[in-house]
Chains A and B, each alone.
Chain A
Amino acid sequence: MRTSLTRGLAALGAVALSTSLAACGGDSETSADAGAAPATDCPFEPDESVTSTARIAWQAIPNADVVVKDLGLLEACLPNADISWVQAASGGDVITYYGAGEVDLGLMGSAPATRASSAPAMRDVDLAVVWIHDVIGDAESLIVKDASITDVADLEGTTIATPFSSTAHYSLLQALADAGLDPAKDVEVINLDPEKMPAAWQSDQVDAAWVWDPVQSQLLEDGGTRLLSSADTAAAGRPTFDVGTVERSWAADNEDFLTMWAKVQDHAVGLIQDDPVAAADSVAVVLGIDPEAAEAQFEGLDYLRADEQASADYLGGKLARDLRTTAEFLYEQGEIDAVGPQAQYDEHVDAGPATRAAQ
């Protein structure tokens, strides 16, 4: 009688034991994150007075942010700050993380940044756009299957795939409107994750897609033709960006951190412009892609130095107006409750860190 109970408890104990053993094994591994990044010296005088705790949300986009992360530049320049990096799959995720109080800085597209600066999300998060990681050019484009389509107006009656709520979605709807097509009636715009597009493309379920790399390159390789890119919609007055955001109350308390953060970002932009081969290595490591592919992806994005960013063309003025234009689009899509006054978007853009970094 006694043994049955002992055995029974032993069974449970063994399960608990195996779980606890597995737990011990894992603990040591998760802390080994800094791993392969080579030790880098700060290109400036490190600021040892900064003791901020910064939690940064990053995304797998080939720009200076991942170069900063890979080279450990921020850690080298702010040796006494406590910096952690959190990966997000989309700008929507980054807003969720802000809402949960889990991050202090984060990268997102201009569409999510606009959403964060409009009702209802602005009740939960209070962000300022302080940096433009990249201006989206050929990195996002409209690829069509039928090479005889040479004008957006020819797309009438076709099915076009794009990931909804993204900068690509925004660019697509702008391009359709400019060509006089009603996205609700004249074409069928469907929501599709990029990685699912090649299969849908192959089986003729979509006729066109507005999407980014690596899927963009894949569709071109599969016989697609580039009809338009975000560089064209930008030229038509509807630019899209990947921007750096910061929680505003955190920004007020950590001004020195942000200044160095902007300087480091600016330095990494310089690396991409002056030594793209080395910068591509960093991007390749972080994204898990070939360095050649990373280098090719640099071509599709425009990177701005701090002084350009601080100018009236970007953070110093026009970006806030671009956000409001984006808000009008998001409002039509039902993604925000109201388009705020221009002053509201001015308030959510802060050229301060870029200006200080440019000095």
Chain B
Amino acid sequence: MWFDDSMALLATSSPAAPARPGTGPRRPPRTAARLRRAGVHALSLAVLVAAWWLITRLELVRPLYLPGPGAVWDAFVQANTDHPVREGSDRMVRGEQNHYLWEHLLASLRRIAIGVGAAIVVGVPLGLLMATTWVGVVLEPYLNFLRSLPPLAYIGLLIVWFGIGDTSKIWLLFLAAFPPVAMATISGVRGVREDMLNAARSLGASRRQVLTSVALPATLPEVLTGVRVAVGFAWTTVVAAEIANGIPGIGGLAYLAGEQLNSALVIACIVVIGLAAIALDLGLKSLERALVPWRGKA
């Protein structure tokens, strides 16, 4: 039900986005700059891959430590296809560990999504409460305590409490992602300029109106930054959380491949993890641009 509401909200907000002033006429030069930047990135990537290929081709490094780009590509393809277990065998294997690579990735993304989603649902209201009431004074030391703990230190405890299934992993991701979101909300609320609040008040705004129309929108950019930090933190945590019973899961797959000294698959996993993290961050960034156009202007 709640998601339906948010979808409606999303729909109502999107027509507003193209109407942003200033984007229309400036588009051509921006596109050119973007193209130029993409060219630079493509070139640096090509140089990197070529150097990688050359180093492995000249056998300067043993394949166990650094397999060539071809081997990594083969591992990537094999992880995404059905292949016979051995030449000529009719026993087919589905990807790696019975799942395609994208299924492993999706399983990890799903854990992150639920963990970070819960962190947002809990962290933002709690952050608001902590920044505006006495609750903050009471809870802030605990939040700082939680924030300073490396999540992996207490995964064992979470397994005992919540079992070895996804529940303990999602709890771990929630506990990792929740402090950055709450802290960002607190600092966002505290950073709202007093004169803006006073201006609204002098125009006759009620306490509630000040909160919903001034404080909250002014806090949002910071919250979204907190979410981006939380997602990054969740990525680093999920890979480690999946060491225990993490199949399907790309972190679990990378760990198993490492144990079998399958370096090519490890690198394929790392590349996919990195690309997925970048894509996710870019998505959040554009979401931020679309939904908080007042960032830096208010």
Contact A88 B244 (CB under 8 A): yes
Contact A5 B291 (CB under 8 A): no
Q: Which residues of B are at the interface with A, using a C-beta cutoff of 8 A?
A: 2-3, 5-7, 9-10, 12-13, 16, 62, 64-65, 82, 85-86, 89, 91-94, 96-99, 103, 106-107, 109-114, 116-117, 120-121, 124, 156, 159-161, 163-164, 166, 209, 212-213, 216-217, 220, 223-224, 227, 243-245, 247-248, 255-262, 265, 283-284, 287-288, 291-292, 294
Q: Which residues of A are at the interface with B, using a C-beta cutoff of 8 A?
A: 1-20, 22-23, 25-27, 29-30, 32-33, 35-38, 60, 86-89, 93, 96-97, 99-100, 102-103, 194-195, 198-199, 202, 214-215, 218, 281, 284-285, 287-292
- State in angstroms the CA–CA spacing of A9 and B121 once bound together: 12
- State in angstroms the CA–CA spacing of A72 and B45 once bound together: 45
Q: How far is the CB of B6 from chain A (nearest CB, A)?
A: 3
Q: A10-B6, A16-B120, A287-B260 are in contact. Are A30 and B248 (CB under 8 A)?
A: yes
Give the contacting residue for B292; candidates A11, A18, A195, A214; CB below 8 A.
Answer: A11
Among B124, B209, B217, residue most surrounded by chain A Cβ atoms (within 10 Å): B217
Residues of B within 8 A of A9 (CB): 6, 9
Q: How far is the CB of B20 from chain A (nearest CB, A)?
A: 12
Contact B107 A29 (CB under 8 A): yes
Q: How far is the CB of A56 from chain B (nearest CB, A)?
A: 12
Q: How far is the CB of B202 from chain A (nearest CB, A)?
A: 15
Query: Top 8 A-B pairs ranked by shortest CB distance?
Result: A13-B6, A26-B110, A19-B117, A11-B291, A19-B113, A22-B113, A10-B13, A4-B217
Residues of B within 8 A of A36 (CB): 82, 92-94, 98
Contact B259 A5 (CB under 8 A): no
Q: How far is the CB of A348 from chain B (nearest CB, A)?
A: 22
- State in angstroms the CA–CA spacing of A92 and B209 once bound together: 57
Contact B91 A14 (CB under 8 A): no
Q: A5-B216, A23-B110 are in contact. List 5 more A-B contacts (CB 8 A).
A: A6-B12, A11-B288, A22-B112, A30-B248, A33-B248
Q: List 6 A-B contacts (CB under 8 A).
A: A8-B217, A10-B10, A10-B291, A27-B110, A33-B98, A89-B255
Residues of A within 8 A of B259 (CB): 60, 194-195
Contact A96 B261 (CB under 8 A): no
Q: How far is the CB of B112 from chain A (nearest CB, A)?
A: 8
Give the contacting residue for A16; candidates B6, B256, B284; CB below 8 A.
Answer: B6
Residues of A within 8 A of B91 (CB): 38, 281, 285
Contact B7 A17 (CB under 8 A): yes
Tell me the nearest residue of chain B to A101, going by C-beta.
B163
- State in angstroms the CA–CA spacing of A96 and B156 once bound together: 8
Give the contacting residue for B86; candidates A2, A38, A288, A291; CB below 8 A.
Answer: A291
Contact A288 B262 (CB under 8 A): yes
Give the contacting residue for B116; candidates A19, A284, A287; CB below 8 A.
Answer: A19
Contact A87 B247 (CB under 8 A): yes
Contact A19 B114 (CB under 8 A): yes
- State in angstroms the CA–CA spacing of A198 and B109 once bound together: 32
Q: How far is the CB of B215 from chain A (nearest CB, A)?
A: 10
Tell me the nearest residue of chain A to B161, going by C-beta.
A100
Among A26, A33, A87, A289, residue most surrounded by chain B Cβ atoms (within 10 Å): A26
Residues of A within 8 A of B161 (CB): 100
Residues of A within 8 A of B97 (CB): 288
Contact A16 B3 (CB under 8 A): yes
Residues of B within 8 A of A16 (CB): 2-3, 6, 117, 120-121
Residues of B within 8 A of A291 (CB): 85-86, 89
Contact B106 A7 (CB under 8 A): no
Residues of A within 8 A of B103 (CB): 29, 32
Contact A96 B98 (CB under 8 A): no
- State in angstroms the CA–CA spacing of A16 and B5 once bound together: 11
Residues of B within 8 A of A38 (CB): 91
Give the contacting residue for B89; candidates A4, A13, A15, A281; CB below 8 A.
Answer: A281
Contact A60 B117 (CB under 8 A): no
Q: A6-B12, A11-B291 are in contact. Are A29 and B117 (CB under 8 A)?
A: no
Tell me the nearest residue of chain A to B118, going by C-beta.
A19
Contact A100 B163 (CB under 8 A): yes
Give the contacting residue for B217; candidates A7, A14, A290; CB below 8 A.
Answer: A7
Residues of B within 8 A of A30 (CB): 107, 110, 166, 248
Residues of A within 8 A of B261 (CB): 195, 198, 214-215, 218
- State in angstroms the CA–CA spacing of A15 and B280 once bound together: 11
Contact A26 B120 (CB under 8 A): no
